[in-house]
Amino acid sequence: MNRAEVLERLQLDSEDPTLQSLLDHLDAQAPEDWRLLAAGLAVRLAAGARRGGQDSSRQNTPSKPLVPRVIGISGGQGAGKSTLAALLVDALQQQGIRAATGSIDDFYLTHNERRELAKTVHPLLATRGVPGTHDVGLCQRTLDALDGSGLVALPRFDKGRDDRCPRSEWPTVQAPLDCFVLEGWCLGAPPQPETLLANPLNALESVDDPDGRWRRFVNEALLGGYARLWAQVEFWLYIRVPDMAAVTRWRTQQEQDLPPERRMTADQLDRFIAHYERITRWMFETMPERSDIVARLGEDHGLVSLCRRSVD
């Protein structure tokens, strides 16, 4: 999509001085599509806040603007969620909105907690990523704290060690925040109907989960704490990747940014991605209708369409 098309979908004036100022100050190394989308969305959200006035429903603090308290950005691995989230927060902050971002990945259960799940529930739960391997309670408590006051520590997860970072390494932000941008590959995923769980989807499920215990545990997690967490999100942006082949290709490219000793082989990466395939494909079908904005990517990772339900 070119600049004019993106701004048309967001109903923005290309001559808007605020928009141009944001673009001038956002990270110039970031993809142009993401810079434009982040700046345009931030302008629309801030404009809605100014028109909306004051919101007395939030902790009795009527000075808070009416930007969404929690914005969710979801999409397949390698889609660019963290890049877009960081740009959006930057653009919101430039307009005086107190915003921060975090990833659902930072709320994984610890290595020992997942190892215990692997022993007591199913061996596949040793691998982080799928619903059921996050500490949704910690995530909810963090969101609640961000609506309070004082310094709030944001959890961090070290994927190299496959474990949560020590609390002393967690960054802090000053609460209350006006907006928290939460990003992650499975954000917003609804549970599947029981009939869709019966048959294995790939070789991993056929060999390692022939009776469906693992996939049913994951699905039940989506029915419980995850659904309650998703309900906290007031605005959804879904990045629709072309297909699973693109996920593999882009995830492979991400591996190249890691030190050689931490990179997965092609076979290891294929097995790793297979853990996510069921929900990723299910989100292809379900997230567009659940999202306020759907950003569809092409094979070259560029933005090819933008479907907007509402941004105010």
The tokens for 283 are 């989100």
| pTM, 2 dp | 0.91
What is the predicted pLDDT for the residue at 53?
43
Residue 35 CB: number of other CB atoms within 10 A?
21
Average pLDDT over residues 241-259: 87
User: Domains, the chain, ranges and CATH?
Assistant: 3-308 (3.40.50.300)
First to last CA, the chain: 22
Mean pLDDT computed over every residue of the chain:
90
Angle between helices 17-25 and 32-52 (to 10 degrees): 130
Virtual torsion, Cα 74, 77, 82, 87, nearest 10 deg:
-80
**107-123 mean pLDDT:** 97
Helical H segments across the chain, by residue range: 3-9, 17-25, 32-52, 81-93, 111-120, 136-146, 203-208, 213-223, 225-230, 244-255, 266-290
Average pLDDT over residues 99-124: 97
Specify burial of residue 308 (Cβ count, 10 A radius: 0-12, 13-18, 19+). Answer: middle
Q: Quote the distance between the C-alpha of residue 206 and its chain's center.
A: 28
| pLDDT (0 to 100) of residue 312 | 53
pLDDT value, residue 63: 47
Higher per-residue pLDDT: 308 or 88: 88
- Write down the pLDDT at residue 170: 97
- Average pLDDT value for residue range 277-306: 95
Which tens digit of pLDDT belongs to each residue from 52-71?
444 434 444 444 456 789 99
What does the pLDDT look like over 204-220, one tens digit per residue? 999 999 999 999 999 99
CA distance 84 to 36: 10
> Would the pLDDT of 47 be above 70?
yes
Note the pLDDT of residue 258: 80
CA distances from 76 to 65, 152, 172, 184 (A): 31, 29, 28, 8
Measure the CA–CA gap between 226 and 189, rounded to whole angstroms: 9
Confidence band, pLDDT 50/70/90 cuts, at residue 93: very high
Cis peptide before 155 (omega within 30 of 0): no
Confidence label for 81 from pLDDT (cuts 50, 70 and 90): very high
Is the pLDDT at 49 greater than 60? The verdict is no
DSSP assignment string, 92-137: HHTTT--EEEEEGGGGBPPHHHHHHHHHHT-GGGGSS-STTSB-HH
Element (H, E) at 182: strand 179-184
- Predicted confidence band at 253 (pLDDT cuts at 50, 70, 90)? confident
pLDDT of residue 148: 93
Q: What are phi and psi of 64, to 5 degrees?
A: -70, 130
User: How many whole angstroms separate alpha carbon 234 and alpha carbon 223?
Assistant: 19
CA distance 241 to 152: 33
Task: Choose the weakest-confidence range: 87-91, 98-102, 269-273.
Answer: 269-273
